[in-house]
């Protein structure tokens, strides 16, 4: 599988501009032979633009995800639209964890633009952030089958909670995609946590971060793909970029056979 991580330049509150950049990245990824492309967290308005969440919120059937589905279909590539601010009260075609409120929601589409899975961020950031006050946490794992791969979905702060990743591994995931809005100065955490999740679960972890400055934060970029040994396969700096690399899904079983740590696990 050829995987592309679209490290977009996200402008605060500029929904249309950000949508267009996402569509352009999907087209470029397809031109470079990608099978699957992932977008960053809250790519529509920017994670730190909390004041815009309410007016920018939309249902799963709304215009942003409709356009991403169209782009997937037009270019023949799978897309993880990760993520948007979802208006739970307006979503009709997907079960929601609440009758009202907002969620941080990612959607995985296949090459025909069909919706494969919806993941709503489980762990809401409470440290000097409005996210935990404004959003409703998700309740179900994000898991889907995509062309022979079992793909897991998490979001940003979820990286600090290893039990979620173990549950995804137990569900059979080969690859976990992590749309994020990780800011400076926590560079070392950004490098350590996904690598640890890859090593301890012996699967691929791909983190796709945004790029850009907000009033109170700057995103640090550095979107990266880690293999089941925790080795970096591809990465980039803090500027907008498209990270493209081939992921050999057979490596998951090979690594687990070579170093069968799961056999020694005690619960």
Q: Tell me whether residue 250 is exposed, middle or buried, using C-beta atoms within 10 angstroms of its C-beta: 0 to 12, 13 to 18, 19 or more.
A: exposed
Which of the following is catalytic: 24, 156, 163, 215?
A: 156
Count CB atoms within 10 A of the CB of residue 130: 14
Which of the following is catalytic: 58, 86, 121, 131?
A: 121
- C-alpha span between 13 and 125 (Å, rounded): 20
Which of the following is catalytic: 41, 58, 86, 131?
A: 41
Q: What per-residue confidence (pLDDT) applies to 36?
A: 98
Q: What per-residue confidence (pLDDT) applies to 267?
A: 85
Domains and CATH numbers, the chain: 2-264 (3.60.110.10)
- C-alpha span between 96 and 103 (Å, rounded): 9
* C-beta separation of 204 from 174 below 8 A: yes
Q: What per-residue confidence (pLDDT) applies to 219?
A: 96
DSSP assignment, residue 147?
A: T
Q: What per-residue confidence (pLDDT) applies to 216?
A: 83
Cross-sheet strand order for the sheet of 149-153: 142-146, 149-153, 175-179, 204-208, 224-226, 232-235
Tens-place pLDDT, residues 249-267: 999 999 999 999 989 999 8
Q: What is the pTM of this model?
A: 0.97
> What are the residue ranges in the chain where pLDDT is below 70?
none
Evaluate the omega torsion of the peptide bond into residue 13 and state whether it is cis, within 30 degrees of 0: no
- C-alpha span between 265 and 242 (Å, rounded): 37
> Quick one: how far is CA 183 from the chain centroid?
16
Q: What per-residue confidence (pLDDT) applies to 157?
A: 97
Known active-site residue 41: yes
Known active-site residue 191: no
């Amino acid at each position: 599988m050829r995987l592309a991580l679209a490290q977009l330049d996200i402008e605060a509150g500029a929904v249309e501009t950000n949508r267009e950049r996402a569509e352009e990245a999907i087209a470029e990824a397809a031109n470079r032979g990608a099978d699957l492309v992932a977008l960053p967290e809250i790519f529509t308005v920017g994670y730190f633009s909390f004041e815009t969440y309410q007016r920018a919120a939309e249902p799963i059937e709304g215009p942003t995800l409709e356009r991403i589905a169209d782009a997937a279909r037009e270019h023949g590539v799978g897309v993880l639209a990760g993520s948007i601010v979802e208006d739970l009260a307006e979503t009709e075609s997907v079960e929601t964890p609440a009758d009202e409120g907002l969620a941080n929601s990612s959607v995985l589409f296949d090459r025909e633009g069909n919706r494969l899975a919806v993941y709503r961020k489980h762990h809401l950031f409470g440290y000097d952030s409005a996210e935990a006050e404004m959003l409703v946490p998700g309740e179900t794992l994000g898991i889907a089958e995509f062309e022979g791969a079992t793909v897991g979905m998490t979001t940003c702060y979820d990286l600090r909670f290893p039990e979620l990743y173990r549950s995804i591994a137990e569900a059979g995931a080969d690859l976990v995609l992590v749309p994020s809005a990780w800011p400076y100065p926590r560079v070392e955490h950004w490098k350590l946590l996904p690598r640890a999740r890859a090593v301890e679960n012996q699967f691929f972890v791909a983190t796709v971060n945004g790029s850009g400055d907000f009033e109170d934060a700057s995103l640090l970029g550095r979107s990266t793909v880690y293999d089941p040994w925790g080795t970096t396969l591809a990465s980039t700096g803090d500027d907008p970029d498209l990270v493209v690399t081939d992921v050999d899904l057979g490596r998951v079983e090979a690594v687990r056979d070579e170093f069968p740590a799961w056999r020694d696990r005690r619960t």
